[in-house]
Amino acid sequence: MPYERDLMIHPMSSGTASRIAAGQIVKWLLELAASGLADRHDSLAKSVVGHVTQRSSLAVRGGSIAQAFRRLLKRGLIGQQITNGTATLSLSVSGRARLDYYYLNDLMLPERPSEWDGDWRVVFFDVPEERKVLRSVFRRKLKQFGFKYLQKSVWIYPYPCEDVLSVLAERLHMQRHIHVAVVRSLSSDALVRHQFSLSEMVHSVASSARKAAANFASPTAKPVQATFQSDRSDVSPNNGTVGSVGEYEMMPIDELD
C-alpha cells in the first residue's frame, strides 16, 4: 500500500538541529495542505510563506520556505486544484503518510512518576499480514517508548501509557487490532521487574499500599498493616513460587478515554 510504504521510508530519529528545523517547516506545509488552504493562484506561494513564518520561532528565510513548498509540489506530496483563478491545496496519500510520520515522531510518553503503582501495562496486538508495515512501525515505537518484549505480539511497561497508545493506534488506523491490559500480578514478575530495574521492595510497597487503600474505602474492612512480604494470593507462603497471571482489566484501545 502506498501509504504504508511511504510511512516506513523515514526512520524515526532526532537528526541534527538543521534537519529538525527543516522537518518542522515541511510538517507545517503539509498541515497547511491538509487544511485546504486557498488563495488566488498568483498569490498562493506568498500566502503559504506568510502562514509558515507566523508559526515559526526560527529565523527561517522566506526563500527557504518557498523552495520547500515547490519541492513538495514537485514530489507529489502536496497537490493544488485551480478553479476560476483560485488555487486550493490538498494532501496526497504520500503527503498524509509523511505528515503522520511527523506526528508519530513527536509522540512521547508522559514523564515517569516518581513511584511505581505496582501495575503492569501489557499491550497485545494481532495485526493482519497485509498491514505488516504498520505493525513494524508500531513495534518500533514501542521499543522507543521503552517497552520490553514479553512474548510474540505481547509487550509490557510498568507506567501509565494508555492515552498515548490510544493516539498511536489511531494514527496507524489499528484501533481494532491493539488491546491494553492493566495487570496486577504476573507469573514472570521478578524477571520483568529486573528488566525495568524495579526492586521487590518497590513492588511490595505498591501492592500493600493498594490493598490498604482498598480496605480503607470499604466500611466493613479490617485494618491492614503494611508489610514487605508479598500479599498476593498466588504466592505460596511455603515455597514462595508465583502462579499464573492474576487479576487484570482489559479493554479495546479504541474505547480508552
Residue 42 in any domain: the answer is: yes
The pLDDT assigned to 23 comes to 82
The pLDDT assigned to 63 comes to 80
Q: Is 159 helix (H, G, I), strand (E, B) or coil?
A: coil
**Is 60 exceeded by the pLDDT of residue 186?**
yes
Residues 89, 124, single domain; the answer is: no
Q: State the CATH number of the domain containing residue 32.
A: 1.10.10.10
Residues 134, 185, single domain; the answer is: yes
Residue 33 in any domain: the answer is: yes
Residues 159, 225, single domain; the answer is: yes
Q: How far is CA 50 from CA 16, 46, 168, in A?
A: 25, 6, 31
**Is 50 exceeded by the pLDDT of residue 227?**
no
Residues 81, 126, single domain; the answer is: no
Separation between Cα atoms, residue 169 and residue 142, nearest integer Å = 11
What is the extent of the structural domain holding 174? 120-255
Residue 43 in any domain: the answer is: yes
- 214 vs 242 pLDDT, higher one: 214
Q: Record the cell numbers describing residue 90, joined without a space.
A: 490538498
Residues 69, 134, single domain; the answer is: no
Site of grid cell 498541515: 31
Q: How far is CA 208 from CA 8, 56, 116, 212, in A?
A: 45, 50, 12, 6
pLDDT of 138-184, one tens digit each? 999 999 999 999 998 999 999 999 999 999 999 888 999 999 999 99
Domain boundary among the residues 82, 106, 130 is at 106
| pLDDT band with cut points at 50, 70 and 90 for residue 97 | confident
Residue 224 in any domain: the answer is: yes
Residues 203, 89, single domain; the answer is: no
Q: Record the cell numbers describing residue 187, joined without a space.
A: 507469573
Residues 6, 133, single domain; the answer is: no
Residue 189 in any domain: the answer is: yes
**Is 50 exceeded by the pLDDT of residue 67?**
yes
Residue 129 in any domain: the answer is: yes
Instruction: Count the domains in the chain.
Output: 2
Residues 94, 212, single domain; the answer is: no
Residues 124, 244, single domain; the answer is: yes
Residues 124, 226, single domain; the answer is: yes
| pLDDT band with cut points at 50, 70 and 90 for residue 231 | very low
Handedness of CA 21, 22, 23, 26 (dihedral sign): positive
Residues 129, 250, single domain; the answer is: yes
Domain boundary among the residues 45, 72, 106 is at 106
Residue 134 in any domain: the answer is: yes
pLDDT of 2-50, one tens digit each? 555 555 545 444 455 556 577 888 999 999 999 999 989 888 889 998 8
Domain boundary among the residues 106, 141, 171 is at 106
Residues 17, 138, single domain; the answer is: no
Q: Record the cell numbers describing residue 46, joined without a space.
A: 506568498
Residue 215 in any domain: the answer is: yes
